[in-house]
Structure 1
């Protein structure tokens, strides 16, 4: 018989050791599933609405989300597709932020229309599958929907250009259910700078008046300011203005992958001082700066944020359906219990810590945003008159109506 020699116990059979290892893994997986029934796992970012636009032209009648899309064309032909209601349920996802993504090429053109169409796709998705999901606007909604055994569906808008430099549009998006706005994407706006353009941030010009208005109006509305994709200077400016905690909906730690898209340690520390959260992306190129990554690389980023910001300031924002390279062991949302189980097996991770990571941290952030909203409820909305100076910063084009004509 094969044996292993250990100082503590002498001779242990290899089959017995392997059985104990399997037993430990199964025990952690059972604990993970129990935790996910008690606390909603909240994923900060999923781009399924954009794939619905690309693959079926927003015609949800042409897709059955209660079937496994890994076996359905055109979804199974794309490395960008990871999501359906089957895999979300298998992964015990309690709440999903669906991204109303607006490509940068639409800036100054039909960005607002595209944002509205993506939001409409989410609303129709929820209406089509009422036994599987319900629309959420508040932290209490998330908790109640999860307790009822359904997925809480929330809306985020990705790309500050989606508001067309108009706070009226921002307010309208919020009224339709958007609960965060990502200030930039892979392009700058007239009032915010994206991460790869950090060298052009106006460090000597002071805070952008429009950025101040956007952040303060989002505070007044109870809308989360999402800093993923933003330049370091735009992040610092938003942190300086906001009265509510801020978020990174799908980012990773700069110390482990040195790209402009990731969050530096000093920003992690500043974010924690304001009570914010970084929701870790599963995109390989954010995790390892390469094409390959593993579940353990995701955990390394989680633990880096925990080290620099604290366990109260980290969450999960995979970015499924918007990424084409996913870690081994986290191929789609059905893999979440495996991630939770692995964390439970690591030293320093209590069940309470894991509950904070998967959902309690985000719920705390959203509740604080709602408290700030209630405190500011008596303040008036910013008037259109204050936004007229922004017109001189916009590109000249024939796609806008000039009131002076």
Structure 2
């Protein structure tokens, strides 16, 4: 089969968490192949944009310190790799499309460490963070996560957080929110939101996946839905293949979301992998499967075009 060159974007990986936990690991070289996401594997994939999540493991008092250490790590270990380019604006993105390189964007997965202080949120924006999920799976000062038993929505501080993100231009990520908090955020936000790494609950009934109604809401606001490669989110029981991933793509398309669909791998945040999708270099397997079922224009949209269109519109211009 002829391989059609297509650029790749991925809206979620946890390699910064691994680098923070294990200082000896190398993003530039990855000689022992300990990392799913590394410079050689992004190059192998033909990646033009990778979003790097700032994730802080639970335990202890929430603090900004590990968030700031992770941002420093991003500068020291990722942005020093040849060809990696920091993406903070639509202009940065256009420069990569024009001149080449691999874009690196920062997101925050769980805002516990901000402790409800909007000044900390603004500082993170100044440091280059461009997308933020208010919670991980647990509850915090702003909302309940999807695994929090009480299933609460946004708090008053959470609503203030959403308004401030809208004001300064931070993208809001709903992937880990409780269903009630999802609907609160969809109602409160004056701008489209994204689900960086979530699948379709109609295909696999995992709590982290989105109902048809949630997916329709994201489509209606022209947000983004990042199909993820977490095996347990792809297929019940977790023994998933590329064909199982395609079932989630098809469900989003059936609901009218072919222009809102992207991918958010969760590479380096997972202990097992979809067969044939264990690192960016294997995304060719997904691309070839998609080409068999969809028009080339649609596949280009899924792999990069939809993400680039959204970011070009919603990132700061300069």
Separation (CA, whole Å) in 2 of partners of 1:227 and 1:368? 19
Match of 1:122 among 74, 85, 109: 74
SS in 2 for 1:185: coil
SS in 1 for 2:107: strand
1:163–1:169 contact (8 Å) kept in structure 2: yes
2:209 is matched with 262
Separation (CA, whole Å) in 2 of partners of 1:128 and 1:94? 16
Kindly report which structure 2 residues correspond to 1:1-400, keeping only aligned pairs within 5 A, or say none. 26-27=1-2, 30-31=3-4, 33=5, 35-36=6-7, 41-56=8-23, 62-69=24-31, 71=32, 75=34, 81-106=35-60, 109-129=61-81, 131-197=82-148, 199-201=150-152, 208-346=155-293, 349-370=294-315
Q: How many residues align?
A: 317
Q: What CA deviation, in whole Å up to 9, does each residue of 1:155-189 have, x standing for no partner?
A: 00110213211111011111100001111102111
Q: What is the deviation of 1:302?
A: 1.4
Q: What is the deviation of 1:121?
A: 0.9
TM-score for both structures, normalised by structure 2: 0.94
SS in 1 for 2:52: strand
Separation (CA, whole Å) in 1 of partners of 2:79 and 2:224? 30
Structure 2: runs of 5+ lacking an equivalent = none
Q: What is the deviation of 1:146?
A: 4.0
Separation (CA, whole Å) in 2 of partners of 1:102 and 1:218? 20
Q: What CA deviation, in whole Å up to 9, does each residue of 1:60-91 have, x standing for no partner?
A: xx44434343x36xx2xxxxx31211111101
1:245–1:368 contact (8 Å) kept in structure 2: no
Q: List structure 1 segments (4+ residues) > 3 angstroms apart after TM superposition.
A: 62-66
Separation (CA, whole Å) in 2 of partners of 1:163 and 1:291? 34
SS in 1 for 2:11: strand
Q: What is the deviation of 1:110?
A: 4.2
TM-score for both structures, normalised by structure 1: 0.74
- Bigger Cα Rg: 1
Separation (CA, whole Å) in 1 of partners of 2:77 and 2:256? 36
1:126–1:134 contact (8 Å) kept in structure 2: no
